[in-house]
């Protein structure tokens, strides 16, 4: 093996022209995402970048409320990253879910606890995991659904956070069934009321009509 080339002057150092922009974008992404383990997250970031996959990057910094403390656990911003990465597939393997979870430096035991809430096999519907993730973030089924609306909406930030009634109905019914304490009749009555309101809004649910303001760390 020939010895490594000795560098005698700066002119011998060749810097790829795209490197400064790559590093700039990486730095911005790290600041927005605030990963708990920078090295682990960086490996996932550049792996996704090289494969043309969705990057594990938050849209913006999550600012905790005065009464809250950000830790290594799930947040709305991180759940939204997972949704962007996994929702196109519809159904994903638990192994792939765990890999993406790990890339975001989230605690494995938190995902294990979520998976124990239902009888999952080796594959899971992503929307079911999204619903259960929102239930971790919310203190009630309605606040959980508000998190889901914030994550799924195509409305601009701070807007109405509308989602299609079909999507809302699926998530709400699923969470109610997992909860087990909400009577089926009560669930059906609530969804019927939401459907009536959605029909007046081109089929879109506006949950804020049914909830007091809920501050979220977006």
Q: Tell me the pLDDT of the chain (218 aa) as tens digits.
A: 555 566 556 666 788 888 999 999 999 999 999 998 999 999 999 999 999 999 999 998 886 544 444 566 999 999 999 999 999 999 999 999 999 999 999 999 999 999 999 999 999 999 999 999 999 999 899 999 999 999 999 998 878 899 999 999 999 999 999 988 889 999 999 999 999 999 999 999 987 766 544 443 33
180: its two tokens: 């087990």
Q: What is the pLDDT of residue 67?
A: 40
pLDDT for the residue numbered 15: 80
Question: Domain boundaries in the chain?
Answer: 20-57+70-137, 138-218
């Amino acid at each position: 093996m020939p010895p490594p080339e000795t560098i005698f002057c700066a002119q011998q150092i060749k810097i790829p022209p795209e490197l400064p922009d790559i590093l700039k974008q990486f730095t911005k992404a790290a600041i927005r995402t605030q990963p708990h383990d920078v090295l682990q997250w960086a490996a996932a970031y550049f792996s996704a970048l090289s494969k043309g996959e969705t990057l594990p990057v938050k849209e913006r910094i999550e600012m905790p409320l005065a009464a809250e403390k950000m830790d290594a656990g799930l947040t709305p911003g991180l759940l939204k990253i997972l949704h962007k990465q996994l929702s196109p597939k519809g159904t994903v393997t638990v192994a792939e879910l765990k890999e993406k979870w790990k890339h975001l430096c989230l605690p494995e035991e938190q995902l294990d606890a979520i998976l124990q809430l239902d009888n999952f096999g080796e594959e899971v519907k992503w929307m079911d995991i999204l619903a259960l993730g929102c239930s971790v973030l919310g203190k009630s089924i309605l606040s959980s659904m508000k998190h889901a609306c914030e994550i799924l909406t195509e409305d601009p930030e701070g807007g109405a956070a509308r989602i299609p009634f079909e999507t809302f109905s699926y998530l709400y019914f699923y969470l109610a069934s997992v909860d087990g304490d909400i009577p089926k009749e009560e669930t059906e009555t609530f969804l019927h009321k939401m459907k009536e309101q959605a029909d007046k809004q081109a089929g879109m649910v506006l949950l804020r009509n049914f909830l007091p303001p809920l501050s979220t760390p977006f």
